[in-house]
Amino acid sequence: MIVTLVKIGVVFGALLLTVAYMTWVERKVLADIQVRLGPNRVGPYGLLQPIADGMKLMLKEDLTPGQVDRVIYLLAPSLSIIPAFIAFAVIPFGDTTTLFGLLSKPVPLHIADINVGILFVFGVASLGVYGIVLAGWSSNNKYSLLGGLRASAQLISYELSMGLSVVGVLMLAGSLSLVDIVRAQEGIAWVFGWVPVPKWFLFSQPLGFCLYFCCALAETNRAPFDLPEAETELVAGFHTEYSSMKFAMFFMAEYANMITVAALATTLFLGGWLGPVAPSPVWFLGKVFILLFLFIWVRATLPRFRYDQLMQFGWKRLLPLALLNIAATAIGAMLVTRG
């Protein structure tokens, strides 16, 4: 119990710290892409900017409009951020450790390993949209309501494709446990008999990875799928009427969800913690950071979808491709088994 509580504390603290500094990383990367300086005033290279932003948001006046549904309005930010943190309970971020010999036996670097881990992540992560929908409805603002409705429609459109995109991985791994999925990617495969590549599912499921990444962008309301916010159309969307720390909690939820979907992609497609020489958590964090960089790169590169394009892309492109990937994986696995 003590070891589990320590792991929960470490993971929760690391997530909060990463969420805070993802704001700095995103602003720096966007500034470099757009040939600007980015935050550079508070601390060396602007490294204290997230702390300054947090203090500013905590000290801001907390306004509550008079016509809101007060209970739901106050509850919505928590409903957005809590599922993003809970989902990390089953994601393995390393193999085992003895803390340089301080522990008598190796401790696995995951909080829990359940045999339906992937279903747990999808089930918990999908609850986050309730916070957005309730925030839009309870704010008594037409722009907020439109943002909440867009978020719910986007979830229905892309959650299905996201779930189907990982079915190929589950078929190849033969398990729903995230730890088992990582262990199924151990070793080296030989392409054409002489090219060594890791047995990561990225190489056997490239279409599944691309589908998952597109759906992850939509699930986290990131550009070019940021229709629930869409500043040019809806002012700020579902969080228009929020201020102070309630406003900050929605942004924390967005970045926490980004980290969660990137960590899940690392586990499913990039071999999780697997890698030579360096400690396993270093490999895991490095792969997650690369995916987070891709999230920011896409935001800086692609324009926002129109709403009808968003719906068509989800139902007419991603869903058929996800079904095709499942069929191709099943046929390939059957041929390999018979061969």
pLDDT range class, residue 164, cuts 50, 70, 90: very high
Q: Give tens-digit pLDDT for 201-221.
A: 999 999 999 999 999 999 888
- Among 61-70, 71-80, 201-210, the minimum mean pLDDT is found in 61-70
Domain range for 201 is 59-338
* Residue 44 covered by a domain: no
* Residue 308 covered by a domain: yes
* Residue 24 covered by a domain: no
Give one DSSP letter per residue of 247-266, joined into a string: HHHHHHHHHHHHHHHHHHHH
- Rounded distance between C-alpha atoms, residue 261 and residue 48, angstroms: 26
Q: Give tens-digit pLDDT for 239-288.
A: 888 888 888 888 888 899 999 999 999 999 999 999 888 888 999 999 99
Q: Give tens-digit pLDDT for 99-114.
A: 777 777 888 888 988 8
Percent of all residues in the chain with a pLDDT value above 90, rounded to a whole number: 42
Count of the separate structural domains present in the chain: 1
Whether the predicted pLDDT of 325 surpasses 90: yes
The average confidence (pLDDT) of the chain is 89
Spatial CA neighbour of 172 closest among 200, 207, 209, 212 = 200
* Residue 311 covered by a domain: yes
Q: Which has more confidence, 196 or 254?
A: 254
The SS3 assignment for 311 reads: helix
- The whole-number average pLDDT for the span 3-25 is 90
* Residue 309 covered by a domain: yes
The gap from C-alpha 178 to its chain's centroid, in whole angstroms, comes to: 15
* Residue 41 covered by a domain: no
- Rounded distance between C-alpha atoms, residue 73 and residue 69, angstroms: 6
* Residue 167 covered by a domain: yes
pLDDT range class, residue 339, cuts 50, 70, 90: low
* Residue 25 covered by a domain: no
